[in-house]
Structure formats: structure tokens, C-alpha cells
Amino acid sequence: MRTLVTGGAGFIGTHLVERLLKEGNEVICVDNFTLGKRENVDKFLDNKKYKFYEIDINDNETFCEKLKNEKIDIIYHLAANSDIQKGGKNPEVDYEDTFMTTRGVLELMRRNNIKNLFFSSTSAIYGDESDKMLSEDLGGLLPISYYGGAKFASENFISSYSYMNDFNTMIFRFPNVIGPNLTHGVIFDFAKKLKNNPKELEILGDGTQTKPYIYVLDLIDCIMFMTKQIDKGVHIYNVGVESATSVTKIADIVCEELGYKNVKYNYTGGNVGWKGDVPKFQYDLTKIHNAGWTANYTSDEAVRETVKVLKK
Ligand SMILES: NC(=O)c1ccc[n+]([C@@H]2O[C@H](COP(=O)([O-])OP(=O)(O)OC[C@H]3O[C@@H](n4cnc5c(N)ncnc54)[C@H](O)[C@@H]3O)[C@@H](O)[C@H]2O)c1
């Protein structure tokens, strides 16, 4: 297959590019390095099946023009803002890099008659529904972060473009994704903070926030497995693990695995880490399990494995 990975220089994108190439696919990668790293591109440049374009997708005319002669069977659209702090301070960030990148990709598909799309959505589209089991058909969704709003708007635009242009679309709503080469998120932050001060650790919220963490290689397995099932229309899947891990438990695992002892935890208080965060959520995973995929790692195992890899 000839594939296009947007955001292919990022954390999840690099793992996906690696697997697509390993399985014999051609990969065109697009990234503008707002958050992606050049080394994630450089390591594939010797591979004849890999091609890289440094483009800001929001410069949509350039994006469509540069790719107009590329034959593409499927787009894996991962480009988005993943810097929660930056996005929380300025709504423009998620409007541009989370929503408008999606609109840009859809326009490329429409103009170039590309039919297959995989979209990386998020649990953030559900808003704060801590008491509910989140299933894909839950209605009346009210996202509470700019990021969640931009992803939900993306899902809606994808739905309309898919209908109007006969796309085959798969939307995956990821929870927290962790694993080798992690560049952001709570584990990454804790490891960084402890390196600076091994005696004390600031923990955002009261530490009881409890969420599922999926190991990135499990997620990539799932994407590859489900790509074979892509079909006409829009198909939405929660992808995750049934277990969940609290923030304090993550701190314990990080300290344990990295060898920090008697660390004093300083909680900033409140049941969320930042405005737009949710205290907990739980996915209904029946649909993805029935499709034939289940994660190998539990949430705690994913956290521990990630810290072990970070340590190396
Ligand atoms: N990591 C998670 O826990 C998680 C959870 C749920 C959903 N997701 C989604 O998965 C996808 C990948 O996440 P990630 O963790 O790898 O993030 P990441 O930041 O590592 O990767 C995103 C990439 O998109 C690129 N990008 C951003 N704006 C762009 C633009 N205008 N033009 C071209 N490239 C642009 C960035 O440079 C970066 O390389 C994102 O869509 C994210 O929202 C991630």
C-alpha cells in the first residue's frame, strides 16, 4: 500500500511509520516539526520506500500542490497539537493544529480522490463523563478542553466529508498513549522533575485522577489489524485497556523503577490536573474486542514498561 502519515515525526507517528515500512508499505510522511523531531525522520531516509515532506498542513494550497502527484491508498492522520499546556493557554493552537490540519487532510482527499482515512481521535471528545461507561454511541457530547472540542469538530467534519465524497473512514478514540520514545505526558514530566529534584515531586491535582494508559506498540498493532477491516462509511472505535492507573500510582512506579527513595509528593490539589482535564474515565471496549483486537499490556504494565524503557 502507498500510505501517507501526517504527524509522522511525532511520538505515535514514528512507531506507525516504522511498522508500515516493516510490513512492506510505502510511506509518505508529512510533518512541520512543531512538536515532531528531525531524528524521527532522518532514521528512515535511507529506506527507498520512505519519502518525507516538511509542510505545514495548514498551508493547505502548498500541502495539496506538493502531494498532487502522489498516489495514496490510505491516510493515517495523526498531525495535531499534543502540548496540553500550550493548547490550554491559547485556543488558537488547537483550532489550527488539531482542527484545521484535519480540514486540510480532508481537502487533499477530496481533491486527489483519496478514499481511505484513519483518524486519531481521543477520549477528550467525551468531556467530563466520569460516572458513565463511555461507549462510541454516547450522545450529547460536550468536550471541555479546546483540544477535545477541536478533535470532536474534526470527527464531525470527517463525517460530512466522508458522506459527501464516499470515503472509507476509521476513527480511533485513544486514551493516554505511552511507551518507547515518549515525548510528553505525566510519566515524562515526573521523570524530568525527579531528575531536577530527587527529593520532592510536584503532582498536579490530588493524585486520584485515574485513567487507562495504552502501550504504544499495542496501539500500533490495533491500527495495523483494523486497517484490514476499513470499509465504506465512518466507523468509530474506542481503543484502550480495561484497567486504569491513578496518578499517585504512576508516581510510585516511576520512583520505584528509577530508584528514587523517600520522595515527598507535593499535591497541587483538586481532583483534576488542569482546567480541561477530567478526574477519571472508563471506556466500553466491546466494539473493538468484537472486531478481534485486545491489548497485551494492562494499564499498570504499560506504565511500568514505559518507565523501564525511559530508564534505558
Ligand atoms: N499521545 C497520546 O496520549 C494521545 C492520546 C489521544 C490521541 N492522540 C492523538 O494521536 C496523534 C499523535 O499524537 P502524538 O502523541 O504522537 O503527538 P506528537 O505531538 O508527538 O505528534 C503530532 C505531530 O504532528 C505534527 N504537527 C502538528 N501540527 C502540524 C501541522 N500544522 N502540519 C504538519 N504537522 C503538524 C507535530 O510536529 C508532531 O510531530 C495526535 O493526533 C493526538 O491528538 C494522542
Find out whether 151 and 101 touch, Cβ atoms under 8 Å.
no
Domain 179-212+242-281+297-311 sits in CATH 1.10.3720.10 = no
CA dihedral 244, 246, 251, 257 (to 10 degrees): -30
Q: How far apart are CA 27 and CA 223, in angstroms?
A: 15
Residue type at position 235: H
Q: How far apart are CA 53 and CA 186, in angstroms?
A: 31
Q: Of 34, 115, 111, 39, give the one whose Cα is nearest residue 78.
A: 34
pLDDT band at 83 (very low <50, low <70, confident <90, very high): confident
Question: Kind and range of the H or E element at 236?
Answer: strand 233-238
Phi, psi at 197, each rounded to 5°: -145, 95
Please state the atom number of ligand 1 nearest to the C-alpha of residue 56: 32
Whether the predicted pLDDT of 85 surpasses 90: no
Cell of 287: 466494539
Over range 266-288, report the average pLDDT. 93
Write down the pLDDT at residue 84: 82
Any residues with CB less than 8 A from the CB of 256 and at least 6 apart, and which? none
Query: Counting Cβ atoms within 10 Å, is residue 66 exposed (0-12), middle (13-18) or buried (19+)?
Result: middle
Over range 290-297, report the average pLDDT. 98
Radius of gyration of the chain (CA): 19
Whether the predicted pLDDT of 312 surpasses 90: no
Give the closest residue (by CA) to ligand 1 atom 11. Answer: 78
Whether the predicted pLDDT of 286 surpasses 90: yes
User: Over the chain, what is the mean pLDDT?
Assistant: 96
Helix axes 186-196, 247-258, angle to 10 degrees: 50
Query: Counting Cβ atoms within 10 Å, is residue 290 exposed (0-12), middle (13-18) or buried (19+)?
Result: exposed
Q: Which tens digits make up the pLDDT trace of 16-25?
A: 999 999 999 9
Find out whether 194 and 260 touch, Cβ atoms under 8 Å.
yes
Distance from residue 102's CA to the centre of ligand 1 (Å): 12
Q: Which tens digits make up the pLDDT trace of 2-57?
A: 999 999 999 999 999 999 999 999 999 999 999 999 999 999 999 999 999 999 99
**70-74, 173-177, 182-186: the lowest-pLDDT one:** 182-186
Please state the atom number of ligand 1 nearest to the C-alpha of residue 96: 31
Query: Domain ranges in the chain?
Result: 2-177+214-238, 179-212+242-281+297-311
Query: Counting Cβ atoms within 10 Å, is residue 54 exposed (0-12), middle (13-18) or buried (19+)?
Result: middle
Give the closest residue (by CA) to ligand 1 atom 21. Answer: 10
Find out whether 82 and 35 touch, Cβ atoms under 8 Å.
yes
Q: How far apart are CA 227 and CA 75, in angstroms?
A: 11
Domain 2-177+214-238 sits in CATH 3.40.50.720 = yes
Write down the pLDDT at residue 148: 96
Cell of 311: 530508564
Distance from residue 72's CA to the centre of ligand 1 (Å): 21
Q: Which tens digits make up the pLDDT trace of 196-234?
A: 999 999 999 999 999 999 999 999 999 999 999 999 999
- pTM over 0.95? The answer is yes
Q: Which of 78, 117, 303 to mutate to test the pocket of ligand 1 (most atoms within 8 A of CB)?
A: 78
Q: Which tens digits make up the pLDDT trace of 181-192?
A: 998 899 999 999
